[in-house]
Amino acid sequence: MSTKTFAHGIELKPTEGGREAIERIMSAYGYGTRQQLADHMGVSKGGIGNRWMRDTFPYDWVIVCAAETKASLAWLMTGNGPMFDAKESDVISINNIKIIDGVIHQAGYNMFDLSFLKRDLKQPIQLIDGNGRYILETSFSDITDGLWLVEIDGTCSLKKISKIPNKKLKVSDDQVSFECGLDDIKPIGRVAMTVNNI
């Protein structure tokens, strides 16, 4: 079978690249398993298994995914370029972090509709902390009153911060409250939104 190459290096090869394309589709939707994708597309586990094992390119799913998620068609087809074109997409990928024993760990990402997020966010990340989920703004020039993810003596945690006179801060949580200087803590991000558990 002859292969034709189009713009963005897109080649039509029905029997190659199916697995990688399925993984990209899962990423665009934010799915962690092929079963989630199969359920979304309305196919059986065996149906998606066949495409995976035969490496059959899922052109139909690529089109549906591009329409539903606004993911770049070129990226879905080839893996080249950005997953989403910020000018055309109303969906954004936000990295997740978790705090384990006072240390920040990467924890995948989530897709958010831009209409859900505050419009003035510049560098958001999502903190997953126990049963709570928080959207943090990590771009800031000054500490303001509010709930912050901070590092104190090498340990990271959420703290309520209030500015008080003499360039000092009042820092508190459910268990402790103290005053310190601006240089005694390292701010990482301010809680801009609390996300209800899904």
Do 70 and 98 lie in one domain? The reply is no
Degrees to nearest 5, angle at CA 167 with 165 and 171: 85
Which pLDDT value is given to residue 88?
Answer: 58
Assess if residue 104 is contained within a domain: yes
Share of residues in the chain with pLDDT > 70 (%): 88
pLDDT value, residue 90: 67
Asked whether residue 145 is assigned to any structural domain, the reply reads: yes
Residue 151 clears pLDDT 80, i.e. is over it: yes
Residue with tokens 């240089």: 183
**Residue 133 shares a structural domain with residue 70:** no
Specify if 167 maps to a domain.
yes
Reduced to 3 states (helix: H, G, I; strand: E, B; else coil), residue 3 is coil
The CATH number that applies at residue 32 is 1.10.260.40
- The fraction of the chain above a pLDDT of 90, given in percent, is 34
Residues 131 and 190 both lie in one domain: yes
Q: Identify the sign of the CA torsion 39, 44, 47, 53.
A: positive
Res 122: pLDDT: 83
Q: What is the mean pLDDT of residues 142-171?
A: 92
For residue 134, give the nearest of 174, 192, 95, 186 by alpha carbon.
192
Mark whether 120 and 29 lie in a shared domain: no
Q: Is 8 a residue whose pLDDT tops 60?
A: no
pLDDT at position 198: 47
**How many CB atoms neighbour CB 188 within 10 A?**
18
Neighbours of 127 (CB within 10 A): 22
83 is a domain residue: no
Looking at the structure, tell me whether residues 188 and 139 fall in a common domain: yes
In this model, does residue 153 exceed pLDDT 70? yes
Residue 9: pLDDT over 60 = no
Total of domains in the chain? 2
Last residue of a domain, one of 78, 102, 124: 78
50 and 114 inside one domain: no
For residue range 68-117, list pLDDT tens digits in order.
888 888 889 888 888 876 665 566 778 889 999 989 998 877 777 777 77
pLDDT of residue 170: 94
Q: Same structural domain for residues 72 and 98?
A: no
CATH number of the domain within which 135 lies = 2.10.109.10
Same domain, 141 and 169: yes
Decide if 104 contacts 186 (C-beta within 8 A): no
> What pLDDT shows up at residue 4?
54
Check pLDDT > 80 for residue 65.
yes
Span 124-133, pLDDT tens digits: 898 988 778 8
- Looking at the fold, whether 190 and 163 belong to one and the same domain comes out as yes
110 within domain boundaries: yes
Q: Which of 162, 171, 158 is nearest to 127 (CA)?
A: 158
Mean pLDDT score of the chain, rounded to an integer?
84
CA distances from 173 to 148, 159, 166, 191 (A): 11, 5, 22, 14
**Domain end position, chosen among 25, 52, 78:** 78
Question: How confident is the model at residue 1, as a pLDDT?
Answer: 45
The larger pLDDT score, comparing residue 173 to residue 110, is at 173
pLDDT at 47: 85
Tell me, yes or no, whether 70 and 99 share the same domain: no
Asked whether residue 144 is domain-assigned, the answer is: yes
Rounded to whole angstroms, how far apart are CA atoms 81 and 103?
Answer: 32
The per-residue pLDDT for 14 is 67
Same domain, 56 and 106: no
Residue type, 33: T
Q: What is the pLDDT of residue 152?
A: 92
**Residue 49 shares a structural domain with residue 111:** no
Which domain, by its residues, includes 189? 94-195
Of the three residues 47, 78, 109, the one that is the final residue of a domain is 78
